[in-house]
Amino acid sequence: MADYKRPDTPAKASWSDKTGALVSPADTIVPDWWKGFQDPYLNTLIAKAIEGNFDIKVLAARIDVAGAQIGEAKSAALPTADLGAGANFQKTTGQPFTRQYNVAAQVNWDIDIWGKVEKGVQAQKAEFHATEADWRAGYLELVSNVATTYFQILQFDDQIDAQQRMVDENKKILSIFEGMSLNGLVPKTQVMRQQAEVNRLTKNLLDLRRSRSIANNALCTLIGVPAGEFTVPVGHLQQRVQQPPVPGGLPSQLLSRRPDIVASELRVLEAYNLVGEAKLAQLPTISLTGHGGTASFALSDLLKSFTFGFMPSINIPLLDPGVRAHVKTTEAQTTVAEQQYRQTVMGAFEEVENALVNLDSHKQQRVELQQEVERLSVVNVQMQSQLREGVVSQLDVFETERTLLQAQLDLLTNHQQILSDTVLLYKALGGGWPAVDVQTQVKQ
């Protein structure tokens, strides 16, 4: 049987670094990396989620199951003992009533001379550590979901605030149009068009409030609270949440840090051990059986005489198609596990690259949006000055303010995207979990 070797995957030496900025090594990703956003309320939400989320509790329960299965696998190497007692009462016509009492014990031990049981134990240990890695992956997923959902809620608050201002500005424009229409300065169609605009903006405002409530319900489920029983206080994203430093790391480090990759490799190792167990089942087995007992027609004489016996035996499998078929099955399952490992690694590479691309793109967009807001702010100030001089109308000022509000809203959305991209990058890089040597961990 060949020794275990990590399945080969397509080589990747480094991540795409489109900004040219220096990145910190993966060792600097601390376990509580979300505290880098410097928002105490976010820290509180994540603590509640870790304690109350039911998905995490299910994953933790699976660890207990896998731990119990290790003990079950080890028990196959231990002797078994049985003790029985009985009595027989018989009456035959013309014969006296007879009684017979008996006690018997038997000990069986299948000696694991080839290490078949140990292979099964190693397979169960690999599954146990894989379920631990599943828990770590679920933990990382939970923290990421709480953070991004929280950011979305704060973004909705900013959008609701900006949308309300846009509704108010358009209502002012509508009032001006209505006054001008009464004086015959604008047609009624202009008034109706502006009324429709107010209707559209109000509908969007209601939709934002609906989206905020749905996101809040999702957050409730994440922290283990019934939906609707908890509400995040209204806040402003840029005021509450700070941008942390961007994590980094080499692709080779990712293979031993990301919990889902670790879990996938552990299941490859489990499959290797199951193949070994199946192959060893083709070898001869040795069993030792000891038995003893006593029988008597009188209960008082039951313990006066005993019978003992000892029987070693060897079983040599000559023709067992089922055993050979099981070997082929486990070998095929190993191939599946190896391909799933490669699939997981490739998916992880894609996640990191996508997070880097999105983060870089949104940061570049932020520069453009900031310049847009700055220039529109200057235009707005100039329009206010021109309004006082009578050069422009109030309608022109309102339109400029509305354009500025939309640009500010786009900038707020961009800020939320950058924060969420950063969360996803932390998650894609393994979220601060330490590197794991799969073979060493299983042998412990």
SS3 category, 333: helix
DSSP E strands, 279-427: 285-296, 307-315
- How far apart CA 126 and CA 438 sit, in angstroms, is 8
- How far apart CA 133 and CA 171 sit, in angstroms, is 56
Q: What is the pLDDT of residue 20?
A: 44
Stretch among 53-62, 77-86, 172-181 having the lowest mean pLDDT: 77-86
- The mean of the pLDDT values for the chain is 85
Q: What is the pLDDT of residue 128?
A: 94
pLDDT, tens digit (0-9, with 9 covering 90-100), for 277-330: 888 888 888 888 877 656 555 555 556 666 777 778 788 777 778 888 988 999
- How far apart CA 33 and CA 42 sit, in angstroms, is 12
Per-residue b/e over 37-65, b at no fewer than 16 CB within 10 Å?
bebeebeebbebbeeebebbeebeebbee
Q: Are 290 and 12 in contact (CB under 8 A)?
A: no
Q: Which of these CATH numbers, 3.40.190.10, 2.20.200.10, 1.20.58.340, 3.30.565.10, describes 80-111+283-319?
A: 2.20.200.10
Query: What does 211-240 look like in DSSP terms, one character per residue?
Result: HHHHHHHHHHHHTT--TTS--PPP--HHHH
By CB neighbour count within 10 A (0-12 exposed, 13-18 middle, 19+ buried), where does 398 fall? middle
- How far apart CA 262 and CA 256 sit, in angstroms, is 6
- CA-angle at 151, arms to 148 and 155, nearest 5°: 135
Q: Which DSSP category does 284 fall into?
A: -
Q: Are 366 and 411 in contact (CB under 8 A)?
A: yes
- CA-angle at 212, arms to 359 and 196, nearest 5°: 100
For residues 34-60, average pLDDT: 94
Q: Where are the domains of the chain?
A: 26-78+115-282+324-443, 80-111+283-319
Q: What is the pLDDT of residue 170?
A: 85
Whole-structure pTM over 0.75, yes or no? yes
Q: Bridge-partner residues for 307, per DSSP?
A: 293
pLDDT, tens digit (0-9, with 9 covering 90-100), for 106-131: 888 788 888 888 889 999 999 999 99
Q: What Rg, from alpha-carbon coordinates, does the chain have?
A: 36
Q: What is the pLDDT of residue 299?
A: 56
Q: What is the pLDDT of residue 231?
A: 94
Residue 180 pLDDT more than 90?
Answer: no
Q: Which of these CATH numbers, 3.40.109.10, 1.20.1600.10, 3.90.1170.50, 1.10.3720.10, describes 26-78+115-282+324-443?
A: 1.20.1600.10
- Which residue reads 């000559």 in tokens? 318
- How far apart CA 56 and CA 64 sit, in angstroms, is 13
Largest CA distance in the chain: 136
For residues 222-246, average pLDDT: 90
- How far apart CA 212 and CA 6 sit, in angstroms, is 46
- How far apart CA 92 and CA 8 sit, in angstroms, is 78
Q: Do domains 26-78+115-282+324-443 and 80-111+283-319 have the same CATH topology?
A: no
Q: What is the pLDDT of residue 302?
A: 55
Q: Are 306 and 229 in contact (CB under 8 A)?
A: no
SS3 category, 189: helix
Number of Cβ within 10 Å of residue 84's Cβ equals 10
How confident is residue 21, by pLDDT bands cut at 50, 70 and 90?
Answer: very low
